[in-house]
Amino acid sequence: MSLIAGIEFRFDLNFQEIDLKETESYLSDITSKYSDIIFDQQTDIRATLEDGSLKATLLVLGSLYIAIGEYGSFRSGIDYMINDAKSLKDLVSSKIVKNGLNEANIMESKRIQCDPDKIRKVLLSIERLESKKNLAPEEIEKDISKIRTSVRNICRHLSNEDAGFFVSSIQQKYWPNDREIPYFIERYNLVVREEEISKSRLTVLNNQARRLE
């Protein structure tokens, strides 16, 4: 699974007076309720609490492929995912207040930079590079090398399928020289083929059901 969203809260609450397991479960349940709907999949929530002014970190793990599949293009899908992550933060914050926490006790709430943010940064770097017409060859190669490094670092933190989805969306000249890249692409293509087969089977079953009506 990939890190598709994240929220960090700081609450003006006494860490020692909090039931940690119960609070982590409570925050996870609220976040999951909204993230499953927003990202159109069953997400996995990792909640951790830290001492001080109570700090809560909520990480949302899921699939880029499933989330972006509803948006159309990969590029626009990444932008939508980032906006959806912002909406998730606002929804979770509002729900916590509605459930009884004084709004003044939320000292800070912020969105954590996650895989979609890192990918968007790379896509913007590619767009900027391709918009420059008068760069010397050595400057172009230097920028491409930086992009390849970023792509490699991002892929290391994505699921195999999402890594394949990502690199398939950019030109091959930006792919790092990494033997895992073909495997990532194959894993992504396998997921797509399995989904197409499932849709075909569903179509057949629906047609059979109609004939029996």
For the chain, give the percent of residues with pLDDT over 70. 91
What is the Cα gyration radius of the chain?
A: 21
Contacts of 138 (CB under 8 A, 6+ apart): none
Q: For the chain, give every domain's residue range.
A: 2-112, 117-193
CATH number of the domain at 2-112, please?
Answer: 3.30.70
- Provide the pLDDT for residue 22: 93
Please name which of 45, 60, 56, 43 lies closest in space to residue 6, comparing C-alpha atoms. 60
Is pLDDT above 60 for 114?
Answer: yes
- The amino acid at 206: N
65 vs 82, 114, 123, CA distance in Å?
Answer: 14, 15, 17
Q: Tell me the pTM.
A: 0.86
pLDDT surpasses 80 at 182: yes
Strand partners, 8: 57, 110
Res 209: pLDDT: 36
